[in-house]
């Protein structure tokens, strides 16, 4: 028996002892028992979670989740945890989390108070603003320019809900159509089915960067909301939440987070080798320095009036 194997065995024995001293519950127990963890991933949330040309799931959120998996594996004293990638959509991620199909959701999910009634969130990993994307030729500078026009948003998103409320409240008379995922929403705008697409600015930036002709499009300057993104997990599972929070806090304190950020937002990314050139927003820097899982937008930045109107409800 080599020394390293002996060492591995010893460490397993030691951690098994601590584990049996404190009975594992919830997701941690499930991971220990089944030897696997299931990540909810997205097909088209570039660069957070998406399928590349080799049919591999990857992205910023997936990288963060893999860091969490490594820490959880260490904590459980396991030599190997099998990572299962389970594709989810904006519309089915919450039920799949609630019914136990996925253990962590590694996508681009807004953390808000309403969702916290059904699921929990890891410390915020990104901060976005809702904006509009339109063709330059259509001359749309703000939401007010959308009066009486067709707007597309993705099914299951906070954006869709916010636009529905704003449409009603500001009497815009917009015809709101729904794309089943982000690529389809973009397709609807690109083919002229909708005059503009409402979405998170970083996702819009990614769509423009990977479009056939990026100079054809522009993102409005007017921010319609501030939203924190979080990795989603099940509610009422304190030990697992602690493990996840600790893993991210540790990551945020290390240089790794800057490296991972640069890999996805400041460098060419697969499959087409586009570079988003999206320097880290100051709100995100603040969160990384002081991690929080608060669903309150005001905890991150000044809240735009359009969002205040929508959250009053």
C-beta closer to another protein: residue 127 or 152? 152
Q: Are 49 and 106 in contact (CB under 8 A)?
A: yes
Binding residues among 267-306 for another protein as defined by CB under 8 A: none
DSSP reduced 3-state for 126: strand
Could you identify the residue written with the tokens 């996702």? 203
Residue 115 found at the interface with another protein (CB under 8 A): yes
C-beta closer to another protein: residue 47 or 183? 183
Sequence-distant (≥ 6) Cβ neighbours of residue 256 within 8 angstroms: 67
Enter the DSSP assignment of 112. -
DSSP reduced 3-state for 207: helix
With CB under 8 A as the contact rule, the residue among 44, 179, 228, 281 that binds another protein is 179
- Nearest alpha carbon to residue 91 among 160, 139, 25: 160
Interaction mask 71-110, another protein, x per CB under 8 A: -------------------xx--xx--xxx----------
Enter the tokens of residue 178: 């729904």
Residue 177 found at the interface with another protein (CB under 8 A): yes
Residue 160 found at the interface with another protein (CB under 8 A): yes
Interaction mask 226-265, another protein, x per CB under 8 A: --------xxxx----------------------------
C-beta closer to another protein: residue 16 or 178? 178
Q: How far apart are CA 235 and CA 97, in angstroms?
A: 9
C-beta closer to another protein: residue 192 or 279? 192
Q: How far apart are CA 232 and CA 161, in angstroms?
A: 19
How long is the chain?
313
CB of 244 to another protein, least distance (A): 16
With CB under 8 A as the contact rule, the residue among 25, 56, 118, 277 that binds another protein is 118
CB of 190 to another protein, least distance (A): 10
Which run of H or E residues covers position 84? strand 82-87
Q: How far apart are CA 111 and CA 117, in angstroms?
A: 11
With CB under 8 A as the contact rule, the residue among 9, 113, 114, 173 that binds another protein is 114
C-beta closer to another protein: residue 231 or 284? 231
DSSP for 150-165 reads EEEEETT-HHHHHHHH
CB of 169 to another protein, least distance (A): 7
CA atoms within 13 A on the CB side of 284: 17
With CB under 8 A as the contact rule, the residue among 25, 56, 79, 168 that binds another protein is 168
Enter the DSSP assignment of 81. -
Q: In Å, how far from its chain's centre is CA 204?
A: 14
Q: Which stretch binds another protein (CB under 8 A): 9-17, 175-183, 213-221, 294-302?
A: 175-183
Any idea of the CA torsion for 255, 203, 103, 115, to the nearest 10 degrees?
Answer: 110
Rounded to the nearest 5 percent, the helix, strand and coil shares of the chain are 45, 20, 35
C-beta closer to another protein: residue 244 or 257? 244
C-beta closer to another protein: residue 166 or 276? 166
With CB under 8 A as the contact rule, the residue among 19, 155, 246, 286 that binds another protein is 155
Name the site residues for another protein (rule: CB under 8 A). Answer: 90-91, 94-95, 98-100, 114-115, 117-118, 155-157, 160-161, 164-165, 167-169, 177-180, 184, 187-188, 191-193, 234-237, 313
């Amino acid at each position: 028996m080599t020394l390293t194997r002996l060492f591995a065995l010893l460490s397993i024995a030691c951690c098994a002892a601590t584990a049996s001293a404190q009975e594992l519950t919830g997701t941690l127990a499930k991971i220990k028992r089944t030897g696997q963890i299931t990540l909810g991933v997205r097909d088209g949330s570039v660069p957070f979670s998406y399928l590349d040309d080799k049919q591999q799931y990857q992205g910023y959120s997936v990288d963060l989740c893999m860091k969490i998996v490594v820490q959880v594996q260490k904590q459980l004293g396991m030599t190997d945890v099998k990572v299962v990638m389970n594709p989810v959509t904006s519309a089915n991620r919450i039920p799949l989390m609630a019914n136990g199909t996925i253990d962590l959701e590694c996508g681009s999910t807004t953390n808000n108070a309403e969702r916290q009634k059904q699921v929990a969130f890891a410390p915020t990993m990104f901060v976005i603003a809702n904006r509009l994307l339109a063709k330059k030729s259509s001359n749309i500078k703000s939401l007010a320019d959308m009066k009486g026009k067709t707007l597309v948003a993705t099914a299951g998103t906070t954006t869709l809900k916010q636009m529905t409320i704003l449409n009603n409240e500001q009497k815009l008379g917009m015809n709101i159509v729904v794309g089943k995922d982000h690529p389809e929403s973009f397709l609807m705008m690109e083919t002229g089915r909708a005059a503009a697409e409402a979405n998170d600015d970083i996702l819009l930036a990614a769509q423009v960067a990977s479009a056939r002709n990026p100079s054809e499009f522009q993102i409005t300057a007017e921010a319609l909301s501030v939203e924190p993104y979080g990795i989603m997990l099940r509610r009422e599972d304190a030990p697992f939440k602690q493990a996840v929070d600790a893993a991210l806090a540790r990551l945020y304190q290390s240089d790794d987070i800057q490296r991972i950020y640069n890999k996805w937002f400041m460098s060419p990314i697969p499959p087409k080798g586009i570079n988003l050139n999206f320097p880290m927003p100051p709100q995100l820097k603040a969160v990384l320095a002081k991690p929080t899982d608060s669903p309150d937008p005001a905890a991150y930045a000044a809240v735009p009036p359009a969002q205040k109107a929508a959250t009053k409800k």
